[in-house]
Amino acid sequence: MLRIEHYSKTYPGGKKAVDDLTLHVRPGEIYGFIGHNGAGKTTTLRAVAGVMDFTEGTITIDGHDIKKDPVGAKRVTAFLPDNPDLYEFMKGIDYLNFIADLYGIPADQRTKDIAKFGDAFELTGNLGSPIGSYSHGMRQKLALISAFIRRPRLLILDEPFVGLDPAASHLMKGYLAELCQSGSAVFFSTHVLEVAEKLCHQIAIIKDGRLVKCGPTEQLVGDSSLENVFLELEGEK
Amino acid sequence: MKKFFALLKVSVKSMLLSSTNARGRSKKKAVSGVGAVVLIAFLGLYLSGLYSSMLMGVLAPVHMEVLVFIFMGMAALVGGLMFTTFAVKGVVFGGKDNDLLLSMPVSSTMLMASRVSAIYLENLLFAFFVLVPAGAVCAFMTQSGVGHSLLFWVRLIVAVLALPLLDTALSVLLGALVAFLSAKVSRGALGQNIVMALYMVAVFWFVFHLNGMIEGLAANAAGVKQSLSWAAPLLWMGDGIMGDWGFLLAFAACCIVPFVLVVFGLGRVYRQAVTAFAARSARNDYRLSAQSASGQNKALLAKEAKRFFGTPMYMWNSGTGLIMLVAAGVAALVMKDDLREFIAMMGGDFPAALAVAVVMGFSLSMCAIAAPSISLEGKYLWILREAPVGEGTLIWIKAGFQLLLSVPCTIIAGVCLASALQISLWEGTVLLAAALLFNVAHAAFGMLVGLAFPKLDAVNETVIIKQSLATTLGIFVPMAAVGACALLYWLGGMLAPWAAPALPVALLVVLAVVCAAVLARRGPAMLQAL
């Protein structure tokens, strides 16, 4: 589903944020991306989402090269940044319809999905209000709903659990699993290692822009815990 | 005081940086910011000098130079109010750093004072550009020696420093009302738009009223002055500048007292005001019904429209030119007999088509809708960049939205003006074609400067719409193009009758083609590189 081959990103001034990263996410997989602050996680996720240009390598989503066919790749993708800023001048329902229009989602399908996810995240009643009046958590939920109604082949999430209440986090984990069962894939970054350990089929650990370890969660963790593995690799234990 | 100056420094720095896309100490970027200020200064001085000299030409022979300062004072006051009232909502009450600064060990009055001082500086700049040229014109054209003494300039400077205090006090009060309406009225943008519409009606009434007064100036200047008793502080300012220190002190007191009252009065409740104006709770009574679908382009255009009409600051700053354009067209039709009489008085050689073209060109230049639109995306840019839409589509939708608004207004105003002034069908067609070409060039150029000088990390929308380099260039470069067209018309007229309209139209064709071609070729890459 997602193939990252020898991806590198160098910022103006010569600082290499990510160096020669190769990583594959298969359909039906939830892939966790772990690393300390500034390791290159967000830079990678933004490049995969086609939001940011990169220096070297190729990124392919469902057969679409993000550089050569960005529109094709984005059509099957949904991306949520760590702090999703949404148009404050729009009402919640207007934003969902705006996104649905950009992705060509038919009217009956969007109505059904907005009702399903809106009710689940307890946001339907608020959809008639301007986003400017939403709390941080409500915006996070609206952004999640806007991602789920696209029924993406690849869902890219940057720190998705930050700002969500426990009920919404639980709900989201269920929907991520449901999405993967339908053949889609999820690629997300997190600092919540317990969640990554329980939720992810595969995990990659990145340090200073380089991939230090990746593989199936059980193999990577073994008899230890993900926290121990992470701290050992980071040289803090 | 040390804390106050530290806060003021932050506000002033933020204001200065707002006109550039600088994020560091790049000399090139700093120069571009200074260049924008110099450009505004030059045009402000030029326009004010022009109107002052027109008035002075009528008033100096009857020794009523004082009226020039009264009228220019009114212009500075009304213009300042128009520029800063909506800025107050963003700068004073809606700053993104409010939470940070309110958590610091400084009094809220001091914080309020530093914010208001930033507004004062903006008004001061405007008052300076309006009143100082009036003083210079007075010194050159006076027949009674006013303006030749050093004390005259001292009094003028006192007036220049004092007037923005009154302006600032009024704009802070009005801005607080706008912020209150935004927070309390469920459709805040509608409430603000109504306030601004009433404000514009008042300004238009004032301008027409003023025009009536100016017509009778030479015959009855003293009477006109007497009829202005409702604007007593400005009369005192005029008399003060002319030499009466008592009136000048009274005027200064009239400016200082409201300013101090506003700063200390609102300063005491600043924390409460910021909290109240920011508090907007989401309703919980929406019932989902069947949704309808539309295409990508329609959705993107609708989004641009929602932003434009839902952001009063954007609509009233970038749309004023269009309102003026249509108002000019309708007013010309209503007052067509007076206009025809005026043209007949000017003689058969009066280039009515050129005059209409210049009026339309300047009004359209003020319609910088595309120029700030990329910067307005700011923190929301990720939404468009992750969407399955090509960069080319995104930039043409933005340019197209400007055209969607400006083209109908151009056609309405063009037809009304051409009909009112009895411009021939041939000249009218050329005029309309030229205006439409100008629209295309302006929209494409606006997008290009928006992409070249983005301000994606602005503290609020106000600094993007009113002070960013892209907006400044998006207004003043097209104005310069209008000037170039007028010059070509004049030069062409000296060569052959057909060359007079042909040369400016040729220039507009070149500008439209070049701007559109550069936008098509470079625009997508520029957007991708942001």
| The pLDDT value given to residue B312 | 80
CB atoms under 10 Å from CB of B520, counted, come to 13
Chain position carrying tokens 């940011």: A52
Contacts of A145 in chain B (CB under 8 A): none
Instruction: List chain B residues with CB under 8 Å of A133.
Output: 280-282
**What are the residues whose beta carbons fall under 8 Å from the beta carbon of A99, sequence distance 6 or more?**
A146, A149, A150, B383, B387
**pLDDT 10s digits, B214-228:** 666 666 777 777 777
pLDDT tens digits, residue range B35-53?
A: 556 655 666 677 677 778 8
Interface touch B286/A129, C-beta < 8 Å: yes
pLDDT of B26 above 60: no
Inter-chain CB proximity B389 and A71 less than 8 Å: yes
State the nearest Cα–Cα gap between B385 and chain A, in angstroms. Answer: 5
Among chain A residues, the shortest Cα distance to B298 is held by A101
Most confident of B169-173, B195-199, B311-315, B334-338: B169-173
User: Residues, chain B, total?
Assistant: 530
Contact between A192 and A1 under an 8 Å Cβ cutoff? The reply is no
User: How many other CB atoms are found less than 10 A from the CB of residue A223?
Assistant: 5
CA–CA separation, A112 vs A128, rounded Å?
Answer: 17
Interface test with A, best of B286, B456, B528, B530 (most A CBs within 10 A): B286
Query: Which pLDDT belongs to residue A11?
Result: 83
Question: DSSP 3-state assignment of A206?
Answer: strand
Q: Does B103 touch chain A (CB under 8 A)?
A: no
Which residues are CB-neighbours of B495 under 8 A, at least 6 positions away?
none
pLDDT for B25 beyond 60: no
Amino acid at A110: R
Could you tell me if A44 lies within 8 Å of chain B, comparing CB atoms? no
Assign A66 to helix, strand or coil: coil
Cα–Cα distance for residue pair B382/B236, rounded to 1 Å: 54
Q: What is the pLDDT of residues A154-196, one digit of tens each?
A: 999 998 888 788 888 889 989 999 999 999 999 999 888 888 8
Question: Coil, strand or helix: which one is A7?
Answer: strand
pTM listed for this prediction: 0.76
What would the pLDDT profile of B52-105 be if each residue is shown by its tens digit? 887 787 777 777 888 888 888 888 888 778 777 777 877 787 776 777 777 777
Enter the ipTM: 0.87
The alpha carbon torsion through B64, B65, B66, B67 (nearest 10 deg) reads 80
- What pLDDT was estimated at residue B33? 52
For chain B positions 330-389, those within 8 Å of chain A (CB to CB) are 379-380, 382-383, 385-389
**What is the tens place of the pLDDT at every residue in B286-345?**
888 888 999 999 999 999 999 998 888 788 888 888 988 998 888 888 888 877 777 777
Confidence of residue B211 (pLDDT cuts 50, 70, 90): low
Contact A108 B290 (CB under 8 A): yes
pLDDT at residue B397, as a whole number: 94
- Contact state of A133 with B280 under an 8 Å Cβ cutoff: yes
Q: Which residues of B234-268 are buried (b: 16+ CB within 10 A; e: fewer)?
A: bbbbbbbbbebeebbebbbebbeebbeebbebbbe
Does pLDDT of A209 surpass 90?
Answer: no
Contacts of A75 in chain B (CB under 8 A): 388
Residues 91-110 on A with a CB inside 8 Å of B are: 92-94, 97-108, 110
Instruction: Work out the number of other CB atoms within 10 angstroms of the CB of residue B459.
Output: 19
Q: State residue B22 phi and psi, 5-degree precision.
A: -70, 140
Structure confidence at residue B260 as a pLDDT band (50, 70, 90):
very high
Strand partners, A174: none
Residues in B touching A109 (Cβ below 8 Å):
none
For B383, name the nearest residue in chain A, comparing CA atoms only: A86
Contact B291 A107 (CB under 8 A): yes
Q: Are A66 and A73 in contact (CB under 8 A)?
A: yes
Closest CA to B89 of B397, B492, B463, B358: B463
